[in-house]
Amino acid sequence: MYRRSLLGLALISSALSTRLLYAQDWATVLGQAVLNEKNNTAFLGREPLPPNDPRWDDAKALLDATPTTGTAYRVAQVLESTVPDTFKKEWPPGYANPLIVDLFFATGTKPQGDVTPWCAAFVSWCIERVGSKSARSAASKEYREYGTPVWEKGKGEFPGQAREGDIAVFKSLSKPNNGHVTFYVGEDPTSNRRIKVLGGNQSDQIGYSSYRISGGDLQLISIRRLT
């Protein structure tokens, strides 16, 4: 599986699209990453999976089964509905979930296993999967100016022109550089002033969640559309 010459960890931070990386360079990048980090386990977990561990192939197969056309939101839906629970969530201390680690290949961020906040990596991977350009970041704040705003806090009645599949961006009031980014599903019919969203790192896994629009530390600041 990893017989090709290793390309180096620098490729992870390159501007390659996820589609190109997965088509040509995934195995070599992964092999180099594991080798480079064997004495620094912050990258792939407290103890990295060996590069020949079949779970790397299992994770890649799950990601490769997602559509490469259509919308990023559709990719997220497929991941939520088809990925087994084992690969949907952060793993207990020890090895890092290889599927989550793979999501960072759509960003320029070097993750600390599957415990680095990965909501933006999930959104970025889904966007890149269908051939569009994401923020290419694992920082949710990089999506605050991404695409076209269809609703912004303080600029009109919610939800404005928001529609299913748009990108919902949240900001932490106590830590302004932190927040959350996810796909907007719609207003939560079971609770006033909440929205239903689909994303990664929601209760430490891929799935649907309900978030308050306001009233807590995490505030919805905008809903944006990929253009």
Owner of token pair 């019919």: 189
DSSP 8-state symbol, 61: H
Whole-angstrom distance, CA of residue 210 vs CA of residue 221 = 16
What band does 97 get if pLDDT is binned at 50, 70 and 90?
confident
Tell me the pLDDT tens digit for each residue of 108-136.
665 554 445 789 989 999 999 999 999 98
What confidence tier does 103 reach under pLDDT thresholds 50, 70, 90? Answer: confident
Q: Which domains does the chain have, with CATH numbers?
A: 9-139 (no CATH), 141-225 (3.90.1720)
**Cβ(140)–Cβ(223) under 8 Å?**
no
- The whole-angstrom separation of Cα 190 and Cα 195 is 10
Average pLDDT over residues 78-85: 97
Residue 168 forms beta bridges with which residues? 182, 223
